């Protein structure tokens, strides 16, 4: 099939690579979000998908909006058979959805209908899911509600951050998306409607969502930290300034600390929660680089009874 791939961040690049190297399909063009300011100089930078497509000599389309007439006209000229999508980052209007003969097929990082929305991996970790996965489905105008072509499953490991899990899903999902294109092309794969029950939503995680509640159980605190790493980053307040929590570890045998109460020893720093303590393995003070929790504690000289989150 002739394909137009739509995607933007680094997590979409493995799927683009899988389609570029397929001997059954041609990636005729790539659609991605416009260049965005990045770094201290805030200069405009192309998306990872745009950079990979340029390396491969593939035409790159960067519409400000997918309903822009110039973009739609070019898409009609290319006349793709199908448009595979991974984390494109913009809603597709009906007029765009109707152009390819086989529509737009999305690789979504959850086992649909669970975790429909922008942050499925973060929500899966924060909810304590033991298994998640990826799904390919036909895009329609509803939120991740279209019929499903195929799924893969992936175990959520006890120490997984959302970054760890998303990386594994990106590579495993790339194979699923390529296989889905093969099945659509040869007619062996039919999309199946999603069940009406089991629907959960995964909206974008806000900075406020990432603030740690020390009255919550230690397991919940650890899940929030892992689910919000690397973005937007879990955090608390210490002495009036934001302290980013990069990595924590539950300490089940320590129950003597009140929620938020800090205790620093020579080689560790513990914080009380609504159940048992957690250890701050890595933190990032405001305006500084990440550092080991014990090193941070020595530098700030925590006093007896001092609390985080106040």
Binding-site members are 110-113
Helix segments in 79-205, DSSP class H = 94-97, 120-126, 162-186
Annotated binding site for (6S)-5,6,7,8-tetrahydrofolate: 110-113
**Cβ burial 60-99 (10 Å sphere, 16+ → b, else e):** bbebeebeeeebbebbeebebbbbbbbbbebebeeebbeb
* Orientation of helix 48-55 relative to helix 13-20, angle to 10°: 20
User: What does the H/E/C string look like for 186-244?
Assistant: HCCCCCECCCCCCCCECCCCCCCCCECCCCCCHHHHHHHHHHCCCCCCEEEEECCEEEE
Evaluate whether 296 touches 285 at the Cβ level (below 8 Å). yes
């Amino acid at each position: 099939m002739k394909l137009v791939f739509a995607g933007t961040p680094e997590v979409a690049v493995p799927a683009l690579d899988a389609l570029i190297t397929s001997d059954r399909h041609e990636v005729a063009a790539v659609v991605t979000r416009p260049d965005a300011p990045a770094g201290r100089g805030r200069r405009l930078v192309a998306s990872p998908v745009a950079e990979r497509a340029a390396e491969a000599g593939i035409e790159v389309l960067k519409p400000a909006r997918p309903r822009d007439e110039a973009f739609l006209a070019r898409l009609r000229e290319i006349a793709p058979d199908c448009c595979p999508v991974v984390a494109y980052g913009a809603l597709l209007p009906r007029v765009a959805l109707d152009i390819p003969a086989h529509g737009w097929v999305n690789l979504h990082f959850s086992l649909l209908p669970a975790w429909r929305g922008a942050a499925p991996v973060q929500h899966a970790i924060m909810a304590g899911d033991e298994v998640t996965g990826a799904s390919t489905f036909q895009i329609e105008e509803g939120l991740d509600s279209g019929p499903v072509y195929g799924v893969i499953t992936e175990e959520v490991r006890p120490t997984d951050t959302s970054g760890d899990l998303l990386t594994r899903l990106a590579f495993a999902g790339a194979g699923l998306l390529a296989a889905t294109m093969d099945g659509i092309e040869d007619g062996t794969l039919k999309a199946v409607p999603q069940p009406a029950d089991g629907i959960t939503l995964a909206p974008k995680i806000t900075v406020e969502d990432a603030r740690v509640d020390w009255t919550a159980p230690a397991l919940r605190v650890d899940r929030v930290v892992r689910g919000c790493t690397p973005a937007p980053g879990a955090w608390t307040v210490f002495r009036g300034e934001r302290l980013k929590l990069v990595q924590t570890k539950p300490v089940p045998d320590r129950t003597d600390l009140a929620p938020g109460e800090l205790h620093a020893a020579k080689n560790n720093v513990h914080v009380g929660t609504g159940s048992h303590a957690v250890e701050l393995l890595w933190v990032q003070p405001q305006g500084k680089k990440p550092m080991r929790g014990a090193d941070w504690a020595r530098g700030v000289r925590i006093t007896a009874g001092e609390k985080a989150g106040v």
